[in-house]
């Protein structure tokens, strides 16, 4: 398969590439690196990236930013100045726009795999934006799955905090069992190389 | 209790008022009607509404718009011109901003109750915006619940399609068991008059 992997330079993206590269052709995408430059917050950048990547059998996202902030520091605000704006524009709508544009470039029965995360169901302090965005992505995936044409499929991978991220994130995820990126990468393999659609693969 | 009910003039809002009014003081809020005018898409309007409503024991939302559209008609776009923009600005961020501002006006151990809907888990054609937004609301509620101060609580009510809405919505919800608004209203009672927090009350 020809697979476009967005967020290829991140901890998760590198593990996904390592899992899939032995069996498939990986076109790497990233904001500042990779075969193809792509800025998920800019629909025109997404279009250009797909035009460059050519025809694909799978599109994978291991990308998306959200802002972590204590709820007490978050006040009612228009989206442009809201703490929630980044998560909605980047991790949520960036991936949704990636999925929407992917339809035009995927071969029949091709797949789209987005990333959510454990905070959908297991919240942490400072994580309300991440929870909100992850919940939105998972519900979007279930809904988009039933309307995609030509046998196209869409799933989400919802990993717990990565072992590799613990030096940075441990104080926020006390008591959570960290997940090796190699385990999260297996869920991407299951989405891309399996046949299911509308699934959320939880790796916790 | 003094309860601020936003969306009081809608089918669901009227049923919630009927359930709670015999035992509590209801301050009704709406875009074009009610004791207090409130436009959820405008944080300043939310602030003015709370200033007018005074000190409260509960804030309830039975409001929020999303756009229904076939996925094939939705293309990658910036939020301002996206089909998903309305749902994100109105039903999602409108209710989130309502909850954030409510903190300043609720008595200790007061409650916030938002509305999501059955499409979080059970998608329908044309419903990807509603699914996305409902999933976001439910995850936000779980996350906000663990960070709210002073014993404040927050829950969501997730009703199925209402019996009263079937004349309009039946073609979109074939095979779904419609829910009388009085049953959905009971879930609001449970949120407001119970003691739980971080819950999603599914009425299906």
Q: Tell me the DSSP string of chain B.
A: -EEEEETTTSHHHHHHHHHHTTTSEEEEEESSSSSEE--TT-HHHHHHHHHHH-SEEEEEE---------GGG-----GGGSTHHHHIIIIIHHHHHHHHHHTTTEEEEEEEEEE--GGGTS--TT-HHHHHHHHHHHHHHHHHHTT-STT-EEEEEEE--BGGGHHHHGGGSTT---B-HHHHHHHHHHHHHS---S-EEEE-
- Using CA atoms of B67, B78, A88, B95 in order, give the dihedral in degrees to the nearest 10: -40
pLDDT, one tens digit per residue, over B139-183 is 999 999 999 999 999 999 999 999 999 999 999 999 999 999 999
The average pLDDT across B104-123 equals: 98
Q: Give the model's pLDDT for residue B172.
A: 95
Q: Do A136 and B138 touch (CB under 8 A)?
A: no
Chain A residues lying within 8 Å of B153, measured CB to CB: none
pLDDT, one tens digit per residue, over A101-116 is 999 999 999 999 999 9
Q: Give the model's pLDDT for residue B8.
A: 97
- Using CA atoms of B42, B75, A5, A57 in order, give the dihedral in degrees to the nearest 10: 150
The average pLDDT across A172-181 equals: 97
The answer to whether A63 and A7 have CB atoms below 8 angstroms apart is yes
Q: Which of B135, B144, B145 sits opposite A136 (nearest CB)?
A: B135
Q: Give the model's pLDDT for residue B76.
A: 98
Q: Give the model's pLDDT for residue A68.
A: 97
**pTM given for the model:** 0.98
Q: Give the model's pLDDT for residue A6.
A: 98
Q: Tell me the pLDDT of chain A averaged across its residues.
A: 98
**For chain B, percent of residues with pLDDT exceeding 70:** 100
**Given pLDDT bands bounded at 50, 70 and 90, which one contains residue B111?**
very high
Chain B residues lying within 8 Å of A82, measured CB to CB: 93, 97
The average pLDDT across B107-133 equals: 98
* Pairs across A and B, CB distance < 8 A: 146
**Given pLDDT bands bounded at 50, 70 and 90, which one contains residue A197?**
very high
The average pLDDT across B104-120 equals: 98
User: Closest-CA residue in chain A for B87?
Assistant: A136
User: Closest-CA residue in chain A for B128?
Assistant: A143
Closest to B129 in 3D by CA, of B179, B80, B70: B70
The 3-state DSSP class for residue A146 equals coil
Interface test with B, best of A42, A96, A136, A172 (most B CBs within 10 A): A136
Distance from CA of B24 to the nearest CA of A (A): 27
Q: Give the model's pLDDT for residue A65.
A: 97
- Give the DSSP letter of residue A72: G
pLDDT, one tens digit per residue, over B71-104 is 999 999 999 999 999 999 999 999 999 999 999 9
Asked if this assembly's ipTM is beyond 0.90, the reply is yes
pLDDT, one tens digit per residue, over A44-66 is 999 999 999 999 999 999 999 99
The average pLDDT across A135-160 equals: 98
């Amino acid at each position: 398969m020809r697979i476009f992997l967005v967020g290829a330079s991140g901890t998760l993206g590198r593990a996904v590439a390592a899992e899939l590269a032995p069996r498939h052709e990986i076109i790497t995408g990233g904001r500042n690196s990779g075969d193809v430059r792509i800025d998920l917050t800019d629909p025109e950048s997404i279009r250009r990236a797909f035009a460059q990547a050519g025809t694909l059998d799978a599109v994978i996202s291991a990308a998306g930013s959200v802002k972590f902030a204590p709820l007490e520091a978050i006040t009612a605000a228009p989206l442009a100045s809201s703490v929630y704006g980044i998560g909605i524009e980047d991790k949520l709508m960036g991936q949704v726009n990636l999925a929407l544009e992917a339809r035009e470039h995927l071969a029949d029965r091709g797949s789209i795999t987005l990333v959510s995360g454990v905070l959908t169901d297991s919240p942490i302090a400072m994580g309300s934006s991440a929870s909100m965005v992850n919940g939105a992505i998972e519900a979007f995936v279930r809904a988009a799955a039933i309307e995609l044409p030509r046998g196209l499929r869409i799933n989400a991978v919802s990993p717990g905090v990565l072992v590799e991220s613990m030096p940075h994130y441990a104080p926020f995820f006390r008591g959570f069992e960290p997940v090796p990126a190699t385990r999260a990468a297996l869920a991407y393999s299951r989405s891309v190389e399996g046949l299911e659609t509308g699934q959320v693969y939880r790796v916790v």
